[in-house]
């Protein structure tokens, strides 16, 4: 066969915005579902195409399509912001007419997908567990489907967060990468598919159970936003597009250094002890005090009381006012912990309203953590929660809520049908309405740590609790990979106790504090047990964080592809200044440390480099650390600086300024 005859067979077919067999697509369909009765495969006809774009500022493409015979209409929206991040969603409507007019359409799945080129031959995604989230895993992008499906009713500790395809060996600063993220806090799917015909794509969307979304005639289903990012220079640039989008969509005020009392006092809510803790927090420079679990009725342990959102007058005879008033006298904001979506069976709420539990009346779902899930899509349960939250935020003029969600959702049944879709939308409405009533209120999304970290929840909250583990050694990796999606100012990063209660590991204060510095810094430590030297050291780190905060929470995050697996090198860069952390995690294999090549600087500029913060004890420091040095950006990036020989669990901070 002549070469010209081979061309049609070797041509790579175009991929429609919603792949379907009617378009000769033989991979996973973008839309799945059907009607009771006659089946009509969907074949879309474009009805309109609207483009609204300005050079350099992104734009919007809206495509309306229909299959009149199948009785379906579709509107697809693609939005590109000025930074190059693409958002996509579909709206599917069961239209009048067609072969099955008047019959419902059962949506089984509707995803957003975009093609990636054949040179994307590796995949990166993430797994994890409680207290060890965002563990990376890589594999070849081979023929077939690599699918990550989540059925936990929340994003999940093992949620991939960002599914990335890239050129072979891509890193933070090298290679071409494409990423996809579903901005949805309920069940979801991310997948990569490669067909032998030469087509590859990334896709994501809500994961629906049979019967969960049934469209009556004229009704519509809208997918969550799905985010697509790209970079020609590694993961950092792809991550920066996601960070820039969040910062533009919801700018945040200055992030107060926060103390949470949980690991300090647990359920011991003695007022004198809490007041002493607040006093020590204020003296260390902490700006917000958050009272965690245990303040409401019957809550002396985690097996009772959840759902009874009234202050326990046996423990707090004058309400929370003595603590809240003193916290504010000390110059700090006051916040409170809630877990609105859950209930203990041993509670007044569950005894009075057993029908409010999400599940079938005939069979209680399996318990986890002595908890069940409240059916937020039930109007009475929703109204109760809104009234209680609104009343408590108003009475105590709360500045902050830590909104927890401590279990996966098992057997979610609402009105006889699968209920995660309705539950997630109701949780979003509850957050939106509470914020609408209290615009000043800041909300943290906590879900037994990092089990609800996604752009759906972050559109309604101000930060996420990155992990229940405050072990700084584990946190170095957890924060590094969570930070692909979430900018530093939205990641809760706390200085834990000297001895971590989860891993049992003991780590020095400087390592713990330097790890927490690169996020929304806080403290989760019983400061009443700390020595004077420890309190002075903590105060110095908090002061350093405050000085660097305008940089840390506005600059571009950079991560070096450092050759030594026992160490990490990362930083945050603005045009005029930068700060880097060189963290030695474990013992080196090489006798001499690798040079510190500082990414993200202007190669044509000159910079002054000096250590910032305490110099790690026992470190063999190079000559440049004794006095500031001035070096071109190109040299810092390509040749780097001689690295200090640090002990394990040590961090050296470098401050860089353009001169």
Active site residues: 404, 468
Using the Cα atoms of residue 271, residue 272, residue 276 and residue 277 in order, give the sign of their dihedral. Answer: negative
Q: Using the 8-state DSSP alphabet, how is residue 645 labeled?
A: B
Report the C-alpha gap between 651 and 654 in whole angstroms: 10
SS (H, E, C) 211-224: CCEEECCCCEEECC
Report the C-alpha gap between 643 and 659 in whole angstroms: 22
- The 10 Å Cβ neighbour count of residue 34 is 16
CA atoms within 13 A on the CB side of 313: 2
Please state the separation of Cα 513 from the chain's center in Å. 22
Burial class (CB in 10 A: 0-12, 13-18, 19+), 506: exposed
The SS3 call for residue 516 is: helix
Q: Checking DSSP bridges between strand 188-194 and strand 200-206, what pairing results, if any? A: antiparallel
281: its two tokens: 């927090």
- 655 beta partners: 579, 610
322: its two tokens: 């003595």
Q: At what angle do helices 420-437 and 379-395 cross, to 10 degrees?
A: 30
Question: Is the distance from CB of 526 to CB of 265 less than 8 angstroms?
Answer: yes
Q: Checking DSSP bridges between strand 417-418 and strand 372-373, what pairing results, if any? A: unpaired
Report the C-alpha gap between 377 and 321 in whole angstroms: 33
SS (H, E, C) 568-631: EEEEEECCCEEEEEEEECCCCCCCCCCCECCCCCCCCCEEEEEEECCCCCCCECCHHHHCCEEE
Instruction: Identify the CA nearest to 324 among candidates 257, 380, 394, 377.
Output: 394
Q: Using the 8-state DSSP alphabet, how is residue 501 labeled?
A: T
Q: Using the 8-state DSSP alphabet, how is residue 651 labeled?
A: E
Report the C-alpha gap between 86 and 179 in whole angstroms: 10
Using the Cα atoms of residue 394, residue 396, residue 397 and residue 403 in order, give the sign of their dihedral. Answer: negative
């Amino acid at each position: 066969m002549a070469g010209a005859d081979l061309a049609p067979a070797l041509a790579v077919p175009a991929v429609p915005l919603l792949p379907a067999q009617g378009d000769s697509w033989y991979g996973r369909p973008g839309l799945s579902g059907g009607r009771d009765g006659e089946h009509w495969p969907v074949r879309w006809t474009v009805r309109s195409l609207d483009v609204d774009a300005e050079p350099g500022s992104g734009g919007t493409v809206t495509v309306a399509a229909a299959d009149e015979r199948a009785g379906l209409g579709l509107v697809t929206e693609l939005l590109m912001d000025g930074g190059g991040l693409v958002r996509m969603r579909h709206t599917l409507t069961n239209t009048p007419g067609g072969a099955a007019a008047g019959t419902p359409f059962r949506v089984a799945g509707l995803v957003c997908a975009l093609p990636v080129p054949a040179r994307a031959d590796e995949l990166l995604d993430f797994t994890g567990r409680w207290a060890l989230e965002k563990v990376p895993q890589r594999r070849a992008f081979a023929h077939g489907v690599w699918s990550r499906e989540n059925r936990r009713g929340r994003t999940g500790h093992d949620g991939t967060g960002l599914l990335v395809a890239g050129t072979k060996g891509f890193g933070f600063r090298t290679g071409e990468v494409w990423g996809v993220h579903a901005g949805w806090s309920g069940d979801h799917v991310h997948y990569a598919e490669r067909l032998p015909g030469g087509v590859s794509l990334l896709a994501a969307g809500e994961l629906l159970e049979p019967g969960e979304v049934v469209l009556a005639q004229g009704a519509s289903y809208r997918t969550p936003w799905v985010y697509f990012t790209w970079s020609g220079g590694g993961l950092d640039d792809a991550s920066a597009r996601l960070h820039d989008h969040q910062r533009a969509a919801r700018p945040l005020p200055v992030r107060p250094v926060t103390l949470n009392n949980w690991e300090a006092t647990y359920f011991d809510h003695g007022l004198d002890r809490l007041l002493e803790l607040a006093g020590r927090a204020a003296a260390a420079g902490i700006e917000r005090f958050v009272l965690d679990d245990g303040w409401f009725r019957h809550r002396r342990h985690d097996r009772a009381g959840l759902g009874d959102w009234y202050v326990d007058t046996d423990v707090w005879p004058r309400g929370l006012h003595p603590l809240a008033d003193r916290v504010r006298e000390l110059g700090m904001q006051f916040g409170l912990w809630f877990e609105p979506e859950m209930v203990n069976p041993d509670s007044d709420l569950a005894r009075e309203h057993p029908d409010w539990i999400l599940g079938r009346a005939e069979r209680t779902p399996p318990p986890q953590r002595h908890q069940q899930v409240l059916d937020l899509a039930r109007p009475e349960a929703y109204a109760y929660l809104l009234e209680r939250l609104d009343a408590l935020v108003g009475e105590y003029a709360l500045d902050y809520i830590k909104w927890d969600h401590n279990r996966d959702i098992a057997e979610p049944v609402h009105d006889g049908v699968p209920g995660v879709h309705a539950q997630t939308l109701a949780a979003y409405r509850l957050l939106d309405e509470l914020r609408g009533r209290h615009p000043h209120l800041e909300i943290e999304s906590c879900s037994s740590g990092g089990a609800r970290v996604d752009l759906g929840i972050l559109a309604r909250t101000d930060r996420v609790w990155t992990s229940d583990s405050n072990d700084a050694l584990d946190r170095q990796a957890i924060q590094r990979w969570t930070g692909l999606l979430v900018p530093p100012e939205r990641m809760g990063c706390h200085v834990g106790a000297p001895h971590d209660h989860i891993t049992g590991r003991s780590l020095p204060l400087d390592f713990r504090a330097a790890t927490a510095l690169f996020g929304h810094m806080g403290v989760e430590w019983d400061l009443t047990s700390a020595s004077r030297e420890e309190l002075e050291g903590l105060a110095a780190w908090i002061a350093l964080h405050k000085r660097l905060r305008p940089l840390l929470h506005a600059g571009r995050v950079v991560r070096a592809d450092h050759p030594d697996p026992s160490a990490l090198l990362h930083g945050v860069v603005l045009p005029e200044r930068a700060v880097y952390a060189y963290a030695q995690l474990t013992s080196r294999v090489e006798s001499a440390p690798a040079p510190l090549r500082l990414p993200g600087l202007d190669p044509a500029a000159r910079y002054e480099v000096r250590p910032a913060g305490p110099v790690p004890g026992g470190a063999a420091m190079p000559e440049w650390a004794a006095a500031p040095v001035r070096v071109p950006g190109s040299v810092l990036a390509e040749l780097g600086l001689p690295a200090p020989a640090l002990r394990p669990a040590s961090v050296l901070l470098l401050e860089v300024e353009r001169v």
